[in-house]
Amino acid sequence: VSRPTQAGIGLFTGMIVFATALGGVFALVYAWAHGRLSDLSPLATAGAIAVLGYVSVTLVPGLKYAANPPAVGSPETIGMRTGLYFLMLAISIAGMVAAVVVARRVTDHRLGWLAGGATYAGIVVLAALILPAVREVPADFPAEVLQQFRTVSLLLNAILWGGTGLIFGWLVGRGTPSSMLSKA
């Protein structure tokens, strides 16, 4: 596939497919979480899901196994690198689920969130220390280009998660009785 195709219609198509999948999973998580995790409003619940989702699905796995521009890295190790990334992703999501479970079991909300955060941090830091590092960017690859690519990747995902949370929360809130919207 040519670079112009990757940068144009390929990127657009990939983002649409990813955003659609994200929206579907987001809706399922919201349907389970709203009213179960706390008494937050629909918008606040969607916002919390967006933040927790971004951290566990994008930020933490991306910090351990950062995104690389196309064609950077050894083709022979792409399977290993992909496997390690998905392993870190699975650990991060499982850690976030464990954190939410811990947070819900503590009766004091502030201590609950603190305990949940500590649980998540402990799990992902331990995983990051145990899992091997992957350093396959060629020494002559421009550091500025690499950093820009990684930053844009994280920011684009932050916009996607944030936009999904805000729009979803707003849309769901429109169909919620006003007595429920006054919460948090």
Band of the pLDDT at 184, cuts 50, 70, 90?
A: very low
Residue 152 has pLDDT above 60, yes or no: yes
DSSP 133: P
Band of the pLDDT at 178, cuts 50, 70, 90?
A: low
**What is the model's pLDDT at position 160?**
95
What number is the average pLDDT over the span 125-141? 92
Report, in angstroms and rounded to the nearest whole number, the Rg of the chain calculated over CA atoms: 19
Cα 181 off chain centre by: 26
Distance CA 102, CA 124 (A): 15
Distance CA 117, CA 110 (A): 11
Contacts of 168 (CB under 8 A, 6+ apart): 23, 26, 27, 30, 46, 50
**What is the model's pLDDT at position 177?**
63
What number is the average pLDDT over the span 66-86? 86
Question: Do the beta carbons of residue 152 and residue 60 sit within 8 Å?
Answer: no
Distance CA 144, CA 72 (A): 14
**What is the model's pLDDT at position 137?**
85
